[in-house]
Chains A and B, each alone.
Chain A
Amino acid sequence: MEDIAEKGLQVVVALAIFAAIIGVIMLIVDRAPKSAREKVQIAGFLTPALILLAVGLVYPALQTTYLSFTNAAGEFIGLDNFVWMFTQPEALITLRNTVIWVVLVPLLASSIGLAYAVFIDKARGEKALKALVFMPMAISFVGAGVIWRFVYAYKGAEADQIGLVNQILVWFGQTPKQFLLDAPENTFFLIAVMIWIQTGFAMVVLSAAIKGIPTEIIEAARLDGASAWQQFRNVTIPTIRGSLIVVVTTITIGTLKVFDIVRTMTAGQYETSVVANEMYTQAFRAGEPGRGAALALVLFLMVLPVVVYNARLLRQQKEIR
């Protein structure tokens, strides 16, 4: 109880200080001399956000870029960190895994989400069916890590299995397997967790898009005798193309940055590391901030084209309207 009171006090004090700062800003803004009032007001409203962004994102991004060309002692070493990344076997495995993640997760999560959205469209109990698949979205990656480590749990062949997947293997007369330890297939079992989480996102957005298709188009296709598959192929897909691209790119970006799942399930051991996790390991565990920064920079360069593509597409759609 004491603990809670003390922590609650910290929160209250922080909120009070914050309110005081905002209050002072508002006071200055209102009391400014008439001649300069507009300028003072604009500055007062924008300054907090701009200072935070400059200090917390712009400067760090530039600093990280610089760090990526230095070694653990802070000396400038040119491209050595990048050479390390693209030549050392462990680092190469990290890059390979990231590529596998980024290909499989968006593809499978979007496809399953789309299929599910189509299957349950206008079905009875649609809301409940949606909630079931959507629920993992609310669960933290750490929580999902526990859930799935339990699904993959391993016991020797002579003991009772406690993990569901191994039990199923046993029921089919197979020997139980160390899903998270055996490289290289363990990466795929980690990827399954991310797909499990992201499918709900794809399903909700795509389901909304499907419901936005004008009924006349669907009616017309039906009258022309289009089969369910033809309708899906020639009507649904082209109409929801915009949403589909948003879903795929959003999941792609999320997948590139995936960290928690790998961190909590294998900590990147047994050849399962990905760039975002390796970045943390190098910078905060191995004492190699230069390498960590280089990995972060590579991550940025991988995310960049996806975002630019997405932004351009959105602008095009706005222009069409």
Chain B
Amino acid sequence: MSAIPAENTNKVFPELQDIETAERPPIQRRVRQRLTSRGATAAAVIIAVIWTIPTFGLFVSSFRPEDNIKGNGWWNVFTDWQFTLANYEDVLAPGGSQSPNLGSYFVNSLAIVIPGTIFTLVIGAMAAYMFAWGRFRGKDGLFIFVFALQIVPLQMALIPLLQLFTQVLKIGDLQLFPSGTYAQLWVAHTIFGLPLAIFLLHNFIAEIPGEVIEAARVDGAGHSTIFWRIIIPLATPALASFGIFQFLWLWNDLLVALVFSGGGADVAPITQRLAELQGSRGGEWQRLTAGAFVSILIPLAVFFGLQRYFVRGLLAGGLKG
């Protein structure tokens, strides 16, 4: 939504990635600092504990037998050591509409998120390239307009977009983007991701040295050659950062899914199923705890595995939501 001031980002990234190399005060000062900041350290530890305990409690609970989860608090595991994988088997196994069936919804999430991310990246990069290197009248005005579209809240687009899908975009009785398939979700996610994608990728692509592009042009390369052979490879770091961001955002989305998915096991993502389970079976903690962990597995893996890109994307692009 908003960018961090540029003068900070440049200086900040290297230090963020390897804190070890950050400058350190001389030894005696370090000692003094450590003594005076004992209170600060204690406060930091308290914050860290408060921030971690809720997730930890849920994680421990998801491995406890049903009766234990419902019978007493998860902190009792320290005295009553009982663990099981039954909850995970229960939520993942395919079954009738009564069972959580999260395996299916997990696949749906992947099927929604992967194309949704790729479409946004490709279409966004193409437009970003033209905004950065094309020469045409009204370029700046158009770019500012696209940038400004970020302020339109998702909520404003939902009702008319749904009407478009169901009533306008069809040939005869055949909907171009049929209800109850992934198609509507892909299109909706791509549209909502584009303003930020174009803006961020433009900023990066515009920084590519002009000589590289000029040289290719002199050699007779057209825009399509330059785009695929030069721009895309050089912009990979930016594409990766934004791609991860878009991936997580789509994975965690609930609102767009609620409006466009129809809600069945054929299409709906895991977040939607989890929200349903909370509503209809609010007390089935053995299912909710395991289900919640299945749903946050991928984001956590992405987060811990690609934290560096994630942080970079965050610093460059701010939040979306």
Contact = CB atoms under 8 A, between A and B. Distances in A.
A3 B195 contact: no
Nearest to A150: B58
A129 interface: yes
B218 interface: no
Contacts of B258: 280, 284
Contacts of A142: 252, 254, 271, 274-275, 278, 295
Given A3-B104, A228-B36, A145 B94 contact: no
B282 interface: yes
Given A58-B149, A299-B156, A143 B7 contact: no
Contact of A18 (B58, B61, B119): B119
B319 A201 contact: yes
Interface string A165-205: 00100000000000000000000000000001001110011
Among A50, A52, A246, A289, residue most surrounded by chain B Cβ atoms (within 10 Å): A52
A10 B223 CA distance: 31
B187 interface: yes
B118 to A, nearest CB: 7
B300 to A, nearest CB: 6
Contacts of B302: 138
Nearest to B14: A211
Given A11-B111, A145-B278, A164-B57, A132 B195 contact: no
A71 interface: no
B37 A147 contact: no
Q: For this complex, into which size category does the number of interface residues on chain A fall?
A: 35 or more
Contacts of B164: 55, 59-60
Interface in A116-170: 116, 118-120, 122-123, 126-127, 129, 131-133, 135-143, 145-151, 153, 160-164, 167
Given A30-B224, A135-B300, A162-B74, A146 B58 contact: yes
B191 interface: yes
Contacts of B271: 140, 142-143, 260
B191 A57 contact: yes
B12 A211 contact: yes
B319 A250 contact: yes
B5 interface: yes
A228 B303 contact: no
A226 to B, nearest CB: 13
Interface stretch (A34-42, A75-83, A84-92, A96-104): A34-42
Interface residues of B, number: 130
B215 interface: no
A119 B41 contact: yes
A38 B133 CA distance: 12
Contacts of B43: 115, 119
Contact of A254 (B29, B37, B182, B321): B321
A207 B285 CA distance: 37
A45 B226 CA distance: 12
Given A57-B157, A140-B252, A250 B2 contact: yes
A286 interface: no
Interface in B11-29: 11-13, 15-16, 19, 22-24, 29
State the 4 A-B residue pairs at the shortest beta-carbon distance, nearest first.
Answer: A56-B191, A140-B252, A138-B303, A49-B127
Interface of B: 1-9, 11-13, 15-16, 19, 22-24, 29, 36-37, 40-41, 43-44, 47-48, 51-55, 57-58, 61, 69-75, 94, 104, 107-108, 111, 114-115, 118-119, 122-124, 126-127, 129-131, 134-136, 146, 149-161, 163-164, 181-183, 186-188, 190-192, 194-195, 198, 222-225, 227-228, 248, 251-255, 258-259, 271, 274-275, 278-279, 282, 285, 288-289, 291-292, 295-296, 299-300, 302-304, 307, 310-311, 314-315, 318-319, 321
Given A136-B55, A259-B155, 19 more contacts: A3-B104, A10-B182, A11-B115, A22-B126, A29-B224, A30-B224, A41-B222, A42-B136, A49-B198, A52-B191, A52-B194, A131-B307, A142-B274, A143-B295, A146-B291, A164-B53, A205-B314, A208-B315, A209-B12
15 contacts: A41-B224, A42-B134, A127-B19, A136-B55, A150-B57, A150-B289, A162-B70, A164-B74, A208-B315, A212-B15, A242-B5, A257-B154, A297-B156, A300-B156, A317-B5
